[in-house]
Each structure stands twice: as C-alpha cells, then as structure tokens.
C-alpha cells in the first residue's frame, strides 16, 4: 500500500471512529468480501447519515446487530486493516464477531431475535393465510356468493386453504425453529407432524369438552393424548430441543450407523419430551397468561381493560388466543354481550397502526413496503400474525407502540361500554357484531381510530427516541461519488473501455436471473453494481471470460476478477455464506493468476451448504466498470456452463 493510499484510508478510519461513537464504542471489527462490519456498544451513538458521506463508502446499514459499511471487494480489506491498526484492535474472524455481537445482547434481546428469525422464515405462508382469511370473511358476507354454486365453491376452497395454513402453523414453527438452531429441518417437520397427528384429540375440541380424551400413565404421570393445535410456544420449545438433540446425536453416533440411529433417537427422545415435559409446561405457561388477562378485565375495571387490550396481542404469539372463543361464547350465554371482542379488535388495529408507523419511517426501503402493506391489509380483516411476526416483533419498538395503542383503545371500550353481540370477526368485518346500544357503531369506529392513531404515533416517537430508522437493514446508496470503490486493494480509476464489448458466459449451470432477484439487499439494490445471478445446479464455478484473479477471500466464498478490457468483477457464492468460514468451499486459483474462459475457479458442496440453511444463489457483479461500460443482459432462462449471459459494452 503506497503512502498516498494509506493516508487516504487513515482519514477514512478516523472519520469512521468518530462517527461510530468513538473508540470506546467499537467492540469488534471484521470484514467480508464487500463490507466492513463493526460491533458497537451502542448503535444509537453511530451517525448513520454521516457514515454514508464518508469517502469511498457506498452504503451503510444495521443487520444482525452489526453495523455494516459497504466499500466493495478488495478495498474493504485495506480499510479494515488500517482501521484496526488505528485503534489498536485486532481484526476478528466473522465467527468471532458474531459471537461478540451476541454477547452484547442481553438474554431477552437474544430471545427476541431468535423468535424473529424463526417467524421470518415462514412469513410468506402466514401472509398468504392472513389475506386468504380476510378474503374468505368478505365473501362469506355477500349474498350473491352464497347463492351462486360456483362462487360459493370458490369461497369454500379459499376458506379451506386459509384454515389449513393456520391449522398447521405449529408444524411450520417447529420446522423453522429446528432450522434456526442448527438442526436438520426435516426433523422439525417430523416433530411438527407428531404434534398435529389425528391420533391425538383436537386441542380446541378437547378444550370445549366435545371430544373424549385418552389418558396414558407413564412413570406414574398422566399423559393426555391431546394435539397441539395453536401451540406456538410448545412448537418453539420442542423445536429448540429437537435441534439440540439432532446436533448431539449426529456428533455422538458412530458414522457407520449414524444415518439409521441418529434420526431415530432424535425423534424418539423429542416425542417423549414433548408429551412428558415440553407440552405440559408450554400449555401451562400460555394458559396461565390467558387466565390472568381475563381475570384482570373482570376485576380491575378500566385498568384491567387497558392492560388486556394492551398486551392481548402477545397472546397471539403463543397461539393461545383461540381459546378466547370459548370464553366469548360463555359470556354471550350468561350476559348476552361480549366485551372481549372489541378489546381484541382494538388491540389488533393498534398493531396495524404500528406497522404504518414503521412503514412511514422506512418509506425509501422497497422491502419494507413489500412486507408492511400486505401485513396492514390483513390487520383490517383481524389477522395480525404477519404484522406481529414480520414487522412489530422483529423490530421490537413497533410492538411496544402497538401495545400502547391497544391500551388506549381498551380505555375507550370501557368508558363507552362497548360490546359485541357475537364473536369470530374483528376490525372492519367486526363492526357488524357491535352492540348498537349507546351509539355502539360510532363508539366502535372511534375506539379503532384512536387505537390505530396511537399505535402509529407512538411507533414514530419510539423510532425517533431509539434511533431505529435503519433497523430494516435497508441500504442507502451515496450518489455523486466518482471514486473507485471495489476491485483489488491497489485499484486505480478505471481506464477507458478500449476492449469493449466483452462477452460474459455462464459461470455455472442452473437458473439464470437478474441481480435484483437475489435475496440480499446489497446485491438486489445494485449497491455494488449491476450484475446477474444463477441458482446453481452444480457445485462448481468457472471463469466467465478471460481474466485475472485479483482477490480471493479467506472464507473462499468470493473472488475478485479483472477482465482484459479493465472491468472489475466479483463472483459471490451464496447468501451470508461468509458465516461458514470457508467450510464446504475449495478455491482452485491464486491471486494474480491468469485464467481462460471455462477454467475452474472454485468448488463447493452445495448439498451441505443448503443443509446448513444457506441460499446458494451465486452472483456475478460488475463492481468496477471501465469508463463508459454497461452490462447488457440476456433473457432469464435455465443455462449451462459456457452459455452466453451478458455483454459488457457501451
């Protein structure tokens, strides 16, 4: 590194230290192929906007409790080295940095993050079920649909589809939990099937006393053969246990019998623990919370109403909210009015207000819009799982804002004596159930608007107070920079495109797509440059053209390349595969090596990487185009190695 570059990087390092909150706020430093990663003692002390404007920085965001600053391939190596030297701190491996970040979080934060990770995995299914449920509710109230055979049939199929997804939600949670905690996902599916098998009495029917429950006696303990429908807490707990058992037996069972014995032991022990320990404990925990909330509404007046509607949506997280149906029906039988329905309804719409608050704070992020808009629509029909698990619980402060909004709505329900004459629907469809006495319809609308507005307002206030505007891991690019930001550590401003056009061929076989479809915001938003991607069908990466190897990551999952025409390229295998620390990768080239089109660059064990839970989609990015160069892509299709993908031209 020459003196001029080192001086420039030292200035960058000095600015980063200042904007990150000072030397004492930096707990760890590492880098991957393109990003400088910092673990800070307090993320709120970091000036995100200021960091975006630092020389050579292309973007900045917070993800995985790390501050990630995008510099580009090659350049990030030198910046990280100079930064580490300037503050007298050793650069860490990414594994050590992740451990450092986890230690910085308190147990509650770690638990919430793990819970968020579990539900993000299954969010598409929950969103689909929520919107189908809302559509089914609307169609069910239209006379034309009920009187037309075809429309009625379609409505019934929609209703069956939505109910099936929610009915098997514990299975989905068990699958996602096992995957999140390092076990084989199929073992989560197995234990989920056991939880919901029709050999067990349906949990809802058992709660209402409409089905006979068989009791076994094991070691002197009575074990009721009741299914775990709605048992989200149980699914989470048994998913963690199953993952740990799977890892344990895979390690301890001799390899010669591992395939047969390890899954057998994992399933058998998990099932025993499910019925003897985890199931009873999880049910007791969720049931206890529910009973306390109902008692408060009956005995603590306005305070009880506010607390119930303030935290009722936390019960949805456990899955035990379904038991309220039995309580509501009993209320109708005894009093003719159901005060729980409007309380739950304002709690729901308040979480929708929190979603809108989060959306407003992150309007520039496309992924936030993609998640928040359908989540809010489902809230209007009384379904909050997408909003809770996809947004509010994930980012924490919207959940708090929603709970405050629910409490305000609950107070209005109490003071206006609002109640329902039925149960089963809430929010927009729920207005049909409102007791019209004492201006019931008007009070219903007022309570919901107040709850929504309060949830919205407090989410905005909490967002500003805790500095979480960037928590969605959105990436803002810095415009107007003409400095080189990628390529080799010693790259210089790109030369004119004398060697154009240059053809790029398929670097592996598989499904070819545009870079914007890659499930990584840095790549998809083209922060590092335009590119293409392939979802590979083989575990080999080949040179897409005649070029030179300029950088090989220590973690072996990414390489920086330079074409004959002076264009800088980055090939990056998988999403977040940097966390594997080189496991399952073998690099076949060295820095400085000249390659011909079709030469093998690296190999990887695709099956093992996917088994570990990583997306193997491989990206090729034009990180440093020569002057006047642009990427012209071929149509998306299935390709074989060597097929034409794109042309770098003017």
Q: How close are the terminal C-alpha atoms of the chain, in Å?
A: 32
Contact of 55 with 71, CB cutoff 8 Å: no
Instruction: Give burial (CB, 10 Å; 0-12/13-18/19+) of 449.
Output: middle
Beta bridge partners of 338: 420
Residue 234's contacts (CB-CB under 8 Å, 6 or more residues apart) are: 170, 195, 228, 274, 278, 279, 282, 283
The tokens for 341 are 């329905």
Task: Give which of 592, 586, 590 is closest to 488, Cα–Cα.
Answer: 592
**Of 32, 172, 372, 505, catalytic:** 32
Give the whole-angstrom CA distance, residue 217 versus residue 603. 54
Give one DSSP letter per residue of 473-521, joined into a string: ---PPPTT--S--SSSTT--SPPB-TT--EEEE-SSSEEEEEGGGSS-H
The tokens for 555 are 């973690």
- Count Cα atoms within 13 angstroms, Cβ side, for 73: 28
The tokens for 10 are 């030292």
The tokens for 462 are 């909490």
Q: Let me know if 32 is a catalytic residue.
A: yes
Give the three-state DSSP class for 536: strand
**In which order are the strands placed within the sheet that holds 502-505?**
502-505, 644-649, 630-633
Give the whole-angstrom CA distance, residue 344 versus residue 409. 10
* Dihedral pair phi/psi, residue 640, rounded to 5°: -115, 155
Task: Give which of 567, 581, 580 is closest to 622, Cα–Cα.
Answer: 567
Q: DSSP letter for 381, please.
A: T
Give the whole-angstrom CA distance, residue 30 versus residue 97. 7
The tokens for 105 are 């979080």
Give the three-state DSSP class for 583: coil
Contact of 309 with 406, CB cutoff 8 Å: yes
Beta bridge partners of 585: 604
Give the whole-angstrom CA distance, residue 515 versus residue 533. 5
* Dihedral pair phi/psi, residue 65, rounded to 5°: 60, 25
Contact of 431 with 380, CB cutoff 8 Å: no
Q: Could you check whether the bond before residue 501 is cis, i.e. omega within 30 degrees of 0?
A: yes
Contact of 249 with 209, CB cutoff 8 Å: no
* Dihedral pair phi/psi, residue 202, rounded to 5°: -60, 130
Contact of 237 with 195, CB cutoff 8 Å: no
Give the whole-angstrom CA distance, residue 350 versus residue 338. 20
The tokens for 449 are 């608007």
- Count Cα atoms within 13 angstroms, Cβ side, for 388: 23
Cite the active site residues.
32
């Amino acid at each position: 590194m020459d003196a001029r570059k080192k001086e420039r990087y030292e200035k960058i390092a000095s600015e980063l230290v200042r904007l990150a909150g000072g030397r004492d706020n930096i707990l760890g430093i590492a880098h991957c192929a393109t990003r400088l990663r910092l673990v800070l003692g307090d993320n709120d002390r970091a000036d995100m906007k200021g960091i975006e404007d630092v020389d050579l920085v292309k973007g900045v965001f917070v993800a995985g409790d790390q501050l990630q600053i995008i510099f580009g391939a090659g350049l990030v190596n030198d910046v990280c080295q100079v930064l580490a030297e300037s503050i007298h701190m050793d650069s860490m491996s990414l594994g050590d940095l992740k451990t450092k970040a986890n230690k910085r979080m308190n147990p509650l934060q770690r638990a919430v993050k793990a819970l968020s990770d579990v539900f993000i995995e299954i969010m598409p299914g929950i969103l689909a079920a929520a919107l189908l449920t809302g559509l089914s509710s609307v169609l069910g109230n239209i006379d034309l649909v009920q009187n037309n055979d075809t429309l009625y049939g379609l409505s019934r199929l929609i209703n069956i589809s939505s109910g099936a997804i929610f009915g098997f939600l514990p299975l989905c949670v068990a699958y996602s939990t096992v995957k999140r905690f390092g076990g084989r996902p199929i073992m989560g599916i197995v234990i989920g099937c056991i939880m919901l098998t029709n050999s067990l009495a349906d949990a809802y029917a058992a709660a209402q006393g409409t089905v006979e429950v068989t009791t076994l006696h094991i070691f002197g303990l009575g074990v009721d053969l009741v299914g775990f429908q709605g048992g989200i807490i149980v699914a989470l707990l048994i998913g963690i246990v199953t993952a740990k058992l799977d890892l344990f037996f895979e390690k301890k069972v001799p390899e010669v019998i591992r395939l047969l014995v390890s899954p057998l032991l994992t399933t058998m022990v998990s099932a025993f623990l499910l019925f003897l320990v985890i199931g009873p404990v999880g049910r007791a925990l969720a049931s206890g919370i529910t009973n306390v909330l109902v008692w408060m509404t009956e005995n603590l007046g306005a305070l009880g109403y506010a607390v119930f509607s303030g935290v009722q949506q936390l019960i949805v997280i456990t899955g035990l909210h379904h038991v309220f149906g039995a309580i509501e029906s009993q209320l109708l039988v005894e009093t003719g009015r159901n005060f729980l329905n409007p309380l739950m309804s304002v709690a729901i719409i308040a979480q929708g207000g929190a979603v809108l608050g989060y959306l407003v704070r992150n309007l520039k992020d496309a992924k936030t819009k993609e998640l928040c808009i359908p989540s809010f629509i489902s809230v209007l029909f009384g379904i909050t799982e997408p909003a809770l698990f996809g947004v509010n619980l994930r980012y924490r402060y919207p959940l708090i804002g929603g709970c405050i909004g629910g409490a305000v709505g609950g107070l209005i329900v109490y003071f206006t004596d609002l109640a329902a004459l039925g149960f089963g629907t809430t929010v927009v469809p729920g207005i049909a159930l409102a007791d019209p006495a004492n201006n019931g319809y008007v009070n219903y609308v007022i309570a919901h608007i107040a709850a929504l507005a309060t949830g919205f307002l407090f989410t905005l206030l909490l967002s500003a107070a805790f500095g979480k505007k960037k928590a969605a891991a959105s990436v803002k690019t810095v415009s107007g920079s003409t400095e080189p930001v990628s390529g080799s550590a010693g790259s210089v401003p790109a030369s004119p495109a004398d060697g154009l056009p240059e053809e790029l061929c398929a670097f592996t076989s598989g499904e070819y797509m545009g870079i914007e479809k890659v499930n990584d915001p840095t790549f998809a938003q083209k922060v590092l440059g335009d590119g293409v991607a392939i979802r590979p069908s083989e575990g080999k990466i080949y040179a897409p053209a005649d070029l030179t190897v300029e950088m090989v990551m220590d973690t072996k999952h990414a390489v920086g390349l330079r074409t004959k025409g002076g264009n800088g390229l980055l090939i990056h295998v998988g999403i977040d595969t940097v966390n594997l620390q080189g496991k399952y990768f073998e690099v076949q080239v060295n820095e400085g090596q000249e390659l011909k089109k079709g030469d093998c660059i690296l190999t990887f064990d695709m099956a093992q990487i996917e088994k570990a839970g990583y997306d193997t989609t491989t990206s090729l990015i034009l990180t440093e185009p020569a002057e006047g160069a642009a990427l012209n892509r071929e149509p998306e299709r299935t390709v074989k190695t060597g097929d034409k993908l794109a042309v770098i031209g003017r």
